[in-house]
Protein backbone atom coordinates (compact mmCIF):
# COMPACT_ATOMS: atom_id res chain seq x y z
CA UNK A 1 0.00 0.00 0.00
CA UNK A 2 2.81 2.42 0.88
CA UNK A 3 4.57 1.65 -2.42
CA UNK A 4 1.43 2.46 -4.41
CA UNK A 5 1.02 5.78 -2.57
CA UNK A 6 4.67 6.72 -3.25
CA UNK A 7 4.28 5.91 -6.98
CA UNK A 8 1.12 8.05 -7.19
CA UNK A 9 2.83 11.02 -5.51
CA UNK A 10 5.89 10.84 -7.80
CA UNK A 11 3.85 10.23 -10.95
CA UNK A 12 1.23 12.85 -9.99
CA UNK A 13 3.92 15.46 -9.29
CA UNK A 14 5.61 14.76 -12.61
CA UNK A 15 2.30 15.08 -14.44
CA UNK A 16 1.49 18.33 -12.62
CA UNK A 17 4.85 19.83 -13.61
CA UNK A 18 4.31 18.72 -17.23
CA UNK A 19 0.85 20.27 -17.38
CA UNK A 20 2.09 23.55 -15.87
CA UNK A 21 5.02 23.74 -18.32
CA UNK A 22 2.80 22.82 -21.28
CA UNK A 23 0.40 25.68 -20.54
CA UNK A 24 3.23 28.20 -20.10
CA UNK A 25 2.45 28.65 -16.43
CA UNK A 26 4.59 28.48 -13.35
CA UNK A 27 4.01 28.09 -9.67
CA UNK A 28 7.19 29.99 -8.84
CA UNK A 29 6.84 33.68 -7.98
CA UNK A 30 7.99 36.13 -10.64
CA UNK A 31 11.21 37.99 -9.83
CA UNK A 32 10.68 41.59 -8.75
CA UNK A 33 12.35 44.65 -7.29
CA UNK A 34 10.70 46.95 -4.75
CA UNK A 35 11.62 50.42 -3.50
CA UNK A 36 9.94 52.08 -0.54
CA UNK A 37 10.21 54.51 2.34
CA UNK A 38 11.54 52.89 5.50
CA UNK A 39 9.08 54.96 7.58
CA UNK A 40 5.85 55.19 5.54
CA UNK A 41 3.86 56.74 8.39
CA UNK A 42 6.29 59.65 8.63
CA UNK A 43 6.11 60.02 4.83
CA UNK A 44 2.33 60.35 5.14
CA UNK A 45 2.74 63.30 7.52
CA UNK A 46 5.77 64.62 5.67
CA UNK A 47 9.46 64.92 6.43
CA UNK A 48 10.91 68.22 7.55
CA UNK A 49 13.16 70.10 5.16
CA UNK A 50 16.76 69.05 5.68
CA UNK A 51 15.80 65.56 6.89
CA UNK A 52 17.56 62.46 5.54
CA UNK A 53 14.86 59.77 5.34
CA UNK A 54 15.80 56.14 4.71
CA UNK A 55 14.71 54.47 1.49
CA UNK A 56 14.74 50.68 1.05
CA UNK A 57 15.40 48.51 -1.99
CA UNK A 58 14.35 44.86 -2.01
CA UNK A 59 15.88 42.45 -4.53
CA UNK A 60 13.39 39.69 -5.29
CA UNK A 61 15.26 38.53 -8.39
CA UNK A 62 17.42 35.44 -8.82
CA UNK A 63 20.77 37.30 -8.93
CA UNK A 64 22.56 39.93 -6.87
CA UNK A 65 22.21 43.34 -8.50
CA UNK A 66 23.65 46.80 -8.27
CA UNK A 67 20.79 49.30 -8.34
CA UNK A 68 21.45 52.86 -9.47
CA UNK A 69 19.12 55.46 -8.01
CA UNK A 70 18.55 59.20 -8.26
CA UNK A 71 16.45 61.76 -6.41
CA UNK A 72 14.58 64.30 -8.49
CA UNK A 73 12.86 67.55 -7.49
CA UNK A 74 10.86 69.54 -10.06
CA UNK A 75 12.58 67.72 -12.93
CA UNK A 76 16.12 68.33 -11.67
CA UNK A 77 18.36 65.51 -10.44
CA UNK A 78 19.51 66.30 -6.90
CA UNK A 79 21.43 63.16 -5.89
CA UNK A 80 22.57 59.90 -7.41
CA UNK A 81 23.89 56.71 -5.92
CA UNK A 82 24.35 52.97 -6.34
CA UNK A 83 23.68 50.10 -3.98
CA UNK A 84 24.52 46.39 -4.30
CA UNK A 85 21.67 44.18 -3.05
CA UNK A 86 21.91 40.40 -2.72
CA UNK A 87 19.19 37.91 -3.61
CA UNK A 88 16.24 38.23 -1.22
CA UNK A 89 17.89 41.12 0.66
CA UNK A 90 16.68 44.58 1.60
CA UNK A 91 19.24 47.38 1.77
CA UNK A 92 18.80 50.98 2.86
CA UNK A 93 20.19 54.36 1.82
CA UNK A 94 19.44 57.94 2.84
CA UNK A 95 18.16 60.76 0.64
CA UNK A 96 18.83 64.41 1.51
CA UNK A 97 15.83 66.73 1.63
CA UNK A 98 17.96 69.85 2.10
CA UNK A 99 16.87 73.06 0.33
CA UNK A 100 13.28 71.94 -0.03
CA UNK A 101 10.19 73.99 0.66
CA UNK A 102 6.70 73.33 1.97
CA UNK A 103 4.80 70.67 0.01
CA UNK A 104 7.73 69.71 -2.23
CA UNK A 105 7.76 66.11 -3.41
CA UNK A 106 11.15 64.47 -3.98
CA UNK A 107 10.93 61.47 -6.31
CA UNK A 108 13.47 58.67 -5.79
CA UNK A 109 13.79 56.56 -8.94
CA UNK A 110 15.62 53.39 -9.86
CA UNK A 111 17.53 54.25 -13.03
CA UNK A 112 16.31 52.27 -16.04
CA UNK A 113 13.42 50.75 -14.10
CA UNK A 114 9.80 51.82 -13.59
CA UNK A 115 9.95 51.69 -9.76
CA UNK A 116 10.00 54.93 -7.76
CA UNK A 117 8.89 56.35 -4.42
CA UNK A 118 7.91 59.91 -3.53
CA UNK A 119 9.03 61.63 -0.33
CA UNK A 120 6.62 64.26 0.99
CA UNK A 121 8.31 67.40 2.37
CA UNK A 122 6.82 69.71 4.97
CA UNK A 123 9.61 71.82 6.50
CA UNK A 124 7.28 73.48 8.99
CA UNK A 125 5.32 70.67 10.55
CA UNK A 126 1.92 71.57 11.99
CA UNK A 127 2.18 72.91 15.53
CA UNK A 128 -0.50 72.77 18.19
CA UNK A 129 -1.48 76.29 19.11
CA UNK A 130 -2.99 77.43 22.41
CA UNK A 131 -5.85 79.80 21.62
CA UNK A 132 -5.49 83.24 23.16
CA UNK A 133 -8.80 84.48 24.53
CA UNK A 134 -9.20 88.23 24.99
CA UNK A 135 -10.01 89.31 28.53
CA UNK A 136 -11.37 92.48 30.13
CA UNK A 137 -8.39 92.85 32.45
CA UNK A 138 -6.20 95.90 31.95
CA UNK A 139 -3.29 97.29 33.93
CA UNK A 140 -5.65 99.69 35.74
CA UNK A 141 -7.64 96.65 36.94
CA UNK A 142 -4.63 95.40 38.85
CA UNK A 143 -5.27 97.91 41.61
CA UNK A 144 -6.97 96.21 44.53
CA UNK A 145 -10.63 97.17 44.25
CA UNK A 146 -12.37 98.19 47.47
CA UNK A 147 -15.85 99.33 48.41
CA UNK A 148 -17.96 100.47 45.45
CA UNK A 149 -15.37 99.34 42.88
CA UNK A 150 -15.47 95.79 44.25
CA UNK A 151 -19.29 95.75 44.21
CA UNK A 152 -19.33 96.93 40.56
CA UNK A 153 -16.72 94.34 39.57
CA UNK A 154 -18.74 91.52 41.13
CA UNK A 155 -21.96 92.71 39.48
CA UNK A 156 -20.31 92.78 36.06
CA UNK A 157 -18.81 89.25 36.19
CA UNK A 158 -19.75 87.46 32.95
CA UNK A 159 -20.88 90.62 31.18
CA UNK A 160 -19.20 91.75 27.98
CA UNK A 161 -16.21 94.13 28.32
CA UNK A 162 -18.22 97.12 27.15
CA UNK A 163 -20.72 96.85 30.02
CA UNK A 164 -18.39 97.53 32.97
**Domain 28-120 adopts which CATH fold?**
Immunoglobulin-like (2.60.40)
Range with the poorest average pLDDT among 98-102, 134-138, 148-152: 134-138
The answer to whether the CB of 122 falls within 8 A of the CB of 100 is no
- pLDDT tens digit string along 88-133? 999 999 999 988 887 899 999 999 999 999 999 885 444 444 455 5
d(C-alpha 114, C-alpha 35), whole Å: 10
> Could you give the angle at the alpha carbon of 108 between the alpha carbons of 40 and 116, nearest 5°?
75
- pLDDT tens digit string along 68-87? 999 999 999 999 999 999 99
Amino acid sequence: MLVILAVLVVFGGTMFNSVVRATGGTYLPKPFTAIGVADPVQNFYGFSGGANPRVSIYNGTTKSKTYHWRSVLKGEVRETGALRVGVGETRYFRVSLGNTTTSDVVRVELVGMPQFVELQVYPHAPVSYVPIVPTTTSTTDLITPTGEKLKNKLNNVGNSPGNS
